[in-house]
Structure 1
Amino acid sequence: MIITGVALTVLLVLVVGIAVARKVDGDSANYLVAGRQLGIPLVAVALTTAAVDSNATVGNTDMSSGYGFWAGASLALGLAICLLLAGLFLAKPMNRMGLLTLGDFFARRYNRPVELVASLLMVFAFTILLAGNLVAMGFLVEYFTGMPYIVGVVLAVCLVLAYTIGGGLFSDAYTAVIQAVITGVATVALFVWVASTWGITIPEGMGPFDLGQLTDPAQGAAINWATLVSLGIGDLVAIDFMQRIFGAKTPEGAQKACFIGAGATAVVGVLWSLIALTTVAELGLSAADAPIIYQLLDDFAPALLAILVLSGIVAASFSTASGAILATSAVAVRNIAGVRREVAPGHHDPLLRWTRIAMLPVVLVGIFLAVRVSQTGILLTLAFDLMLACLIAPFLLGLFWRRSTSTAALVGAGVGFVVRVTFLALTPTLYGVPNTLLYVDNDLVTADFDGWATLVAAAAGVTAFVVTALLTRPRAEEEIDLRHVDRTATDAPVPVTAAPAPAGTSAEVPVALRSAEPLEA
C-alpha cells in the first residue's frame, strides 16, 4: 500500500513535468532559465524544494539522531543561510546580468581558462550533490520493497530524467509546486503526529540549546561549524540555485523568492530534527539499522501518514536531482564544451540538443558516487565544501572587488582544491562518518581534524586569491563592475557583423544569431 501511494505521487509529478515540456519550444533559453518568465511563487517554491531535499530530511534525521540537533539541522539551516545571503547580496545583480549558467559569470568576469576551471569544479561538486539525493531513493526502495539498493538509485534517475530531459527548468519549476505542497504538508503532519503521540522529547545534551555542540570539539563543534559554513557560504556557488534566480522575471522577484525559500527551509529543517530527537528518546531508534525516518514510518506511523511523508521525501529528492542534472549538464555543454545558443529560424539550437545528451553521462557518474558513498547529508556537505575552498573567493570577490584578476582566480581555486583534496585523503572520517571516498591510511591526521579540514582549506583558497590579486594587475576588461549590468541590454539581439567567434565559443554559430547571449554581446 505504501509503495502504491508513493507511486501515484510520482506519476502525478511525471505527468505535470511532461505536460509543461512544450513550453520549451526548441529554445535553450526556455529550457535553461524558463525564458526568464518565472514569477515569485514559482521561483520561491523551486528554491525551497532545491534546498529541502533528501539531505535536509533523511540525512538531517540520521545526523540529528546520532550526534544531536546541530549535526542534522545544520544541513537545512546552512542552506537557509545561503538563500538569505543570496537574497541580501546576490539575487538582484545575478538576475540582472541575464546569464544562462553560473559558468557564464566566470567567463564574463575573468577569461576562458577561469571559466573552464570553475565549470569543471562546479560539475564535479553537483554530481556529488546528485548522488546524495539518489542515495535516499536507493534506501527507500531497498527498505520498503526488498529490491537491491542499486535498483532504487537507477529507478530514481530514470524517473527524474523522464521529465527533466524534456522540459528543463519549466518542468522543474512547475513540478516543484506539487513537490513543495507535498513536502510541506508531510512535514507538518509528521511533526503534529509525533508531538501528539509522544510529545517533543529531547535526549540530554542533544537539543538546540545544548550549545556544546557548537563550542566543544568533543561534541562535534568543528564538524557542525564546517557544515554551516560550507552550506551557508559555499552553497552560494550553487548552479541549481542560480539557475532558478536567473529564471525570475525581475531582480526584485528573485530577491523576494530567496527570502521566502530561506524561511521555509529553516522551518522544515528544524521540525525534522526535532522529530528525529524524539524518536531516539522515545523509541530508541538508531540509523545504524536503516534511515531513522524509514523505521519510524514503517513500524509506528499510520499507513496514510507514511505514504504522505515518503511521497514528500521522494518529491524533495526529485526536485533537487532534476535541478542538479539540468544545471550540471548545461555548464558542461556551454562552459566546458563551448557550445553556444543558436536562435536562427529553421535551425535546431545546439545548446539545447547537447544539454539533453549530456544528462546521460552526468547521471551515470551520479549513480557511481551514490553506490560508492551511500550517505545523504555527507555528500551534500562535501559538494559545497569543495565550492567553499575553490570558488567562493573568485565568485564573491569577483563580483564586489575590482582588483580581482584571472590569475588570482586560478591560483585561489588551485590552492583550495589541492589543500581540500589532500585533507580528504588524509582524514579518516568525513563529517563524522568513516571516509570511504578517498582515504589513504596514515598516521599524520586523526579524526580530530575532521571539520577543521573544511575551514582550513577555505582559508587557504581565499588567502591565495587575495594575495595573488594584490600582486597582479587586472586587465582593463577585468575591472568592470558586473553588479550594475542590465540584462535588457545583454539580452538584446546582437547586431549583424562579421566579427569572429570569441575564444572558447563555437565558431559554427554566427555572431549575428546569438540573441540573448550576454557573453557574445
Structure 2
Amino acid sequence: MALNIPGVVAMVLFYLLILGTGLWAARKSRKVERKSHGDRTEVVLLGDRNIGFLVGIFTMTATWVGGGFILGLAEAVYTPKLGLMWALMPIQYSLSFIIGGLFFAKPMRDKKYITMMDPFQIKYGKILSAVLVLPCLLGDLMWVSCTLLGLGATVTVILDVPYVYSVWISAAIAIIYTLLGGLYSVAYTDVIQLSLTFLSLWLCVPFLLLNPLSTNIAQTAFNHTFQAPWVGTLEMDKMWNWIDDFLMLGLGSLGYQSFHQRTLSASSPQTAQLTCYASAIIIAILGIPPILVGAVAASTDWNHTLYGSPSPYERGENTFILPLALQNLTPSYISIIGIGAVAAAVMSSTDSSLLSATSVFSSNIYKNILRQQASDYEMKWVIRVTVVVVGLLGTTISFLTNSTLVLWLLGADINYSLIFPHLVSVLFFEVSNGYGALAGYIIGMPLRILLGENTIGLPVVLRLPGCTFEDGVFVQKSPVRTVTMVCTLVAILVFSSLAVFMFNHNLLPEGWDVFKVKRNVSVAPADAVTQNPESDPELDENGQGVALQPMLQAES
C-alpha cells in the first residue's frame, strides 16, 4: 500500500489548525496571568476559574470522547463475544456526568479546590495524600496511552504512515500547546476538536450504512450472518461481570482529575452543574456513530472487500475495526474525514490527561509537599516539565499493547477500585480520617491484585464464589472491581470509626495519634459553669470555658 498523500496533507492541515488554536489560547492565558492578582497557578491549571457554560460543555465532553471511546466502542460492538450489550460507555458516562453534577460539582467548586486531591491533603495530611496521588497519576498515564494508541492505529491503517511516527507527532503537538497555554489552550482546542469529531463521524455514517458490501444492520442485529449478532448476548454466568463493568465506568469516571478539573474551572458552581448535565446528553449522541461502525463491520462479508479473508476478528485485528471499516467500506475521501474525527478526539483527551496529571503532581506534590515556598515563576517551569515527562511516559506505554480497550479499562479499574471510594469517604463521611484512609489503601490495592485480571495477564490468586477454570486460567465470575471498591470504602469507614473510638476513650495513648483524631474535651453548659467554676480545670477565674474564648472573641 502506497502512502496516502491527500490524507497526509489533510492531517497536516488539521494539526496546524489545532496548534494555531492552542497558541492563540496560550496568548490569552498569558494576558490573564499578567492581570491576575491571585495565584497564577490557578490561571494555568484552571483557566482562572472563568470557563463559561458553552466552552465548558465542549471541554467536558471532548475530554471523554477520545480515541479509546471511539475505537473502543467500535471494537466492542464488532467483537462477537461482546457486542452492543457490552458497549454501553455512552450511557455509563452520561450517568457519571449526572451523578457528578448532582453530588460532586457544587461542593468542590464552592470550596475552590485546585485539584480533587486537595480535600485529601486538608483532611489526611501531606504524606498520606501523596501516597493516594500515585494511582491517580497512573490512571491518567493509562488514558494518555489509550488515546495515542487509538490514533496511531487509525493513521497506520488508512494513511500507511508508520505507527511510531503518527504517535510521536500527535503527542508532540498536544504537549506543545498544553505546555504553553495550560487549561485555556486545552479548553479552546477542545471546541475545535469536538466540533470536528461530531461532524466527521456523522458524515461517515451514511456512507457506511449504504455501502453495497454490508447487509442491513437491522437484519444482523439478532441473526447470524457473517458472524454472531452485533447486539451481543448477556449470559447469566456473566451477569455480575456486566454489572461490574457498568458500575466501573459509571462511577469510576468520577475518580478522574480530568472530570473535576472541568467543574473546578467553571465560572460558578451552578455553571459547573449545568455543564455536567448538558455534557451527559451530548456524549450519548456522540456514542452512536462508532456503535454503527461496529455494527456495519459485523454485517460485512470481508471476503468481498479489498481486505479479503479471513475477517479482522479472525486475524486478531478487531482493535483496528474502525479504520479498517472506513478504509474498505467508504470512498477514500470519506476515510480521510474519519481520520480527522479520530485525530480530533484523541488530541482532546490526550491534552486533558496531560494537564490532569500535571495539576495533581505540581499542586499536590511539588507545591504542597516538596517546595511550599515555590514562586509563581518556579511553578510555571514545574508545570511545563511535568507536561513533557507525563507526555513521554504515556506515549511510551502506548507501544506496550495493541488494544485501546485494555488500556481504557485498566485506567478505569484503578480509579473505580481505589480512588473513587477514597473520594466519596473524604467528601461525604465526616468520620473518615487518616487511619481509615491508610487501611483502605493497604486493603484495597493488594485485594485488587490478588483477585487478578486476565486482560493484562495478572493471575487469579484469591478466587471468589463462581470462579471457574477456563483455557488454562482461572476466570472470576464475581464483580471483582465492585468487591474491591466496596471493601475499600468499608475499610476506610470502619477503621476511621475505630480509631476515633479508641483515642477518644483513651484506649490508646494520645501520643500515638499521628493523624490527630482525638477530640477536645467538651465544654460544660453555661449554668453548670456558673454553679461550680472551680471544679473544672478548663475554666478560667470568671467561670468561662477556655475552649470557648477564641470562638466568642471571633464572634465579637
TM-score (norm 2): 0.77
Which among 224, 244, 257 is matched to residue 239 of structure 1? 257
Question: Shift in Å at residue 60 of structure 1?
Answer: 1.1
Alignment of 1:306-317 (within 5 A): 306-317=335-346
Question: Shift in Å at residue 441 of structure 1?
Answer: 10
Distance change in 2, residues 1:144/1:171 (3 Å) = same
Distance change in 2, residues 1:341/1:465 (3 Å) = closer
Which among 305, 315, 319 is matched to residue 348 of structure 2? 319
Name the CA distance, whole Å, in 2 between partners of 1:18 and 1:343: 30
Name the CA distance, whole Å, in 1 between partners of 2:449 and 2:162: 31
Q: Which residue of 1 aligns with 2:101?
A: 87
Name the CA distance, whole Å, in 1 between partners of 2:371 and 2:184: 20
Between 148-157 and 242-251, the greater mean CA deviation after superposition: 148-157
Check whether the contact 1:87–1:258 (CA below 8 A) recurs between aligned residues: yes
Q: Does 1:113 align with 2:124?
A: no
Q: Which residue of 2 aligns with 1:139?
A: 153
Alignment of 1:227-376 (within 5 A): 227-284=245-302, 286-287=312-313, 288-289=316-317, 291-338=320-367, 348-376=376-404
Check whether the contact 1:28–1:349 (CA below 8 A) recurs between aligned residues: no
Check whether the contact 2:77–2:230 (CA below 8 A) recurs between aligned residues: no
Name the CA distance, whole Å, in 2 between partners of 1:119 and 1:162: 25
Check whether the contact 1:110–1:478 (CA below 8 A) recurs between aligned residues: no
Between 395-404 and 442-451, the greater mean CA deviation after superposition: 442-451
Q: Which residue of 1 aligns with 2:203?
A: 189
Distance change in 2, residues 1:209/1:304 (3 Å) = closer
Check whether the contact 1:123–1:328 (CA below 8 A) recurs between aligned residues: yes
Larger radius of gyration: 2
Name the CA distance, whole Å, in 1 between partners of 2:61 and 2:101: 13
Q: Does 1:97 align with 2:94?
A: no
Question: Shift in Å at residue 343 of structure 1?
Answer: 13
Alignment of 1:27-38 (within 5 A): 27-38=40-51
After superposition, the C-alpha distances for 1:281-336 in whole angstroms (9 at most, x for unaligned) are 13455352361111111112123322222111111111111010111012112212
SS of the residue corresponding to residue 266 of structure 2 reads coil
Check whether the contact 2:128–2:434 (CA below 8 A) recurs between aligned residues: yes
Alignment of 1:386-405 (within 5 A): 386-405=414-433
Name the CA distance, whole Å, in 2 between partners of 1:387 and 1:250: 26
After superposition, the C-alpha distances for 1:242-265 in whole angstroms (9 at most, x for unaligned) are 111111001111111111111111
Q: Does 1:456 align with 2:475?
A: no
Name the CA distance, whole Å, in 2 between partners of 1:412 and 1:208: 40
Name the CA distance, whole Å, in 2 between partners of 1:383 and 1:255: 25
Check whether the contact 2:450–2:461 (CA below 8 A) recurs between aligned residues: no
What residue identity is the alignment partner of 1:63?
A
What residue identity is the alignment partner of 1:463?
V
What residue identity is the alignment partner of 2:274?
K
Q: Which residue of 1 aligns with 2:551?
A: none
Q: Does 1:216 align with 2:233?
A: no
What residue identity is the alignment partner of 1:6?
M
Between 412-421 and 120-129, the greater mean CA deviation after superposition: 412-421
Question: Shift in Å at residue 459 of structure 1?
Answer: 2.6
SS of the residue corresponding to residue 404 of structure 1 reads coil
Question: Shift in Å at residue 378 of structure 1?
Answer: 1.8
Q: Which residue of 2 aligns with 1:46?
A: 59
Q: Which residue of 2 aligns with 1:498?
A: none
Question: Shift in Å at residue 222 of structure 1?
Answer: 4.0
Which among 17, 20, 25 is matched to residue 20 of structure 1? 25
Distance change in 2, residues 1:41/1:137 (3 Å) = same
Question: Shift in Å at residue 71 of structure 1?
Answer: 5.6
Check whether the contact 1:74–1:228 (CA below 8 A) recurs between aligned residues: yes
Which among 9, 14, 30 is matched to residue 9 of structure 1? 14
Name the CA distance, whole Å, in 2 between partners of 1:244 and 1:478: 36
Name the CA distance, whole Å, in 1 between partners of 2:23 and 2:242: 40
Check whether the contact 1:389–1:462 (CA below 8 A) recurs between aligned residues: no
Q: Which residue of 2 aligns with 1:500?
A: none
Name the CA distance, whole Å, in 1 between partners of 2:101 and 2:173: 32
SS of the residue corresponding to residue 338 of structure 1 reads helix
Name the CA distance, whole Å, in 2 between partners of 1:356 and 1:158: 13
Q: Which residue of 2 aligns with 1:200?
A: 217
Distance change in 2, residues 1:75/1:104 (3 Å) = same
SS of the residue corresponding to residue 371 of structure 1 reads coil
Check whether the contact 1:339–1:350 (CA below 8 A) recurs between aligned residues: no
Distance change in 2, residues 1:456/1:441 (3 Å) = closer
Alignment of 1:491-502 (within 5 A): none
Distance change in 2, residues 1:203/1:405 (3 Å) = same
TM-score (norm 1): 0.82
Check whether the contact 1:132–1:379 (CA below 8 A) recurs between aligned residues: yes
Name the CA distance, whole Å, in 1 between partners of 2:372 and 2:413: 38
Alignment of 1:508-519 (within 5 A): none
Check whether the contact 1:23–1:30 (CA below 8 A) recurs between aligned residues: no
CA-atom RMSD in angstroms: 2.9
What residue identity is the alignment partner of 2:93?
L
Name the CA distance, whole Å, in 2 between partners of 1:6 and 1:450: 44
After superposition, the C-alpha distances for 1:226-252 in whole angstroms (9 at most, x for unaligned) are 322111111101111111111100111
Q: Does 1:421 align with 2:449?
A: yes
SS of the residue corresponding to residue 80 of structure 1 reads helix
After superposition, the C-alpha distances for 1:368-391 in whole angstroms (9 at most, x for unaligned) are 321112221221221121122112
Check whether the contact 2:222–2:231 (CA below 8 A) recurs between aligned residues: no
Distance change in 2, residues 1:208/1:246 (3 Å) = farther
Check whether the contact 1:3–1:144 (CA below 8 A) recurs between aligned residues: no
After superposition, the C-alpha distances for 1:464-510 in whole angstroms (9 at most, x for unaligned) are 1222123121978899xxxxxxxxxxxxxxxxxxxxxxxxxxxxxxx
Number of equivalences: 466
Check whether the contact 1:136–1:376 (CA below 8 A) recurs between aligned residues: yes
Question: Shift in Å at residue 130 of structure 1?
Answer: 1.0
Check whether the contact 1:125–1:386 (CA below 8 A) recurs between aligned residues: yes
SS of the residue corresponding to residue 482 of structure 2 reads helix
After superposition, the C-alpha distances for 1:447-468 in whole angstroms (9 at most, x for unaligned) are 5317733232223212212221
Name the CA distance, whole Å, in 2 between partners of 1:128 and 1:14: 24
Check whether the contact 1:165–1:359 (CA below 8 A) recurs between aligned residues: yes
Distance change in 2, residues 1:271/1:182 (3 Å) = same
Question: Shift in Å at residue 147 of structure 1?
Answer: 4.1
Check whether the contact 1:182–1:312 (CA below 8 A) recurs between aligned residues: yes
Name the CA distance, whole Å, in 2 between partners of 1:166 and 1:341: 24
Name the CA distance, whole Å, in 1 between partners of 2:292 and 2:446: 38
Check whether the contact 2:26–2:181 (CA below 8 A) recurs between aligned residues: yes
Check whether the contact 2:84–2:230 (CA below 8 A) recurs between aligned residues: yes
Between 19-28 and 315-324, the greater mean CA deviation after superposition: 19-28
Distance change in 2, residues 1:92/1:4 (3 Å) = same
Name the CA distance, whole Å, in 1 between partners of 2:159 and 2:332: 15
- In structure 1, runs of 5+ residues without a counterpart are 480-521
Question: Shift in Å at residue 341 of structure 1?
Answer: 12
What residue identity is the alignment partner of 1:466?
L
What residue identity is the alignment partner of 2:444?
G
- In structure 2, runs of 5+ residues without a counterpart are 1-5, 34-39, 303-310, 502-514, 520-556
Name the CA distance, whole Å, in 2 between partners of 1:181 and 1:166: 23
Q: Which residue of 2 aligns with 1:489?
A: none
SS of the residue corresponding to residue 63 of structure 1 reads helix
Q: Which residue of 2 aligns with 1:55?
A: 68
Between 67-76 and 35-44, the greater mean CA deviation after superposition: 67-76
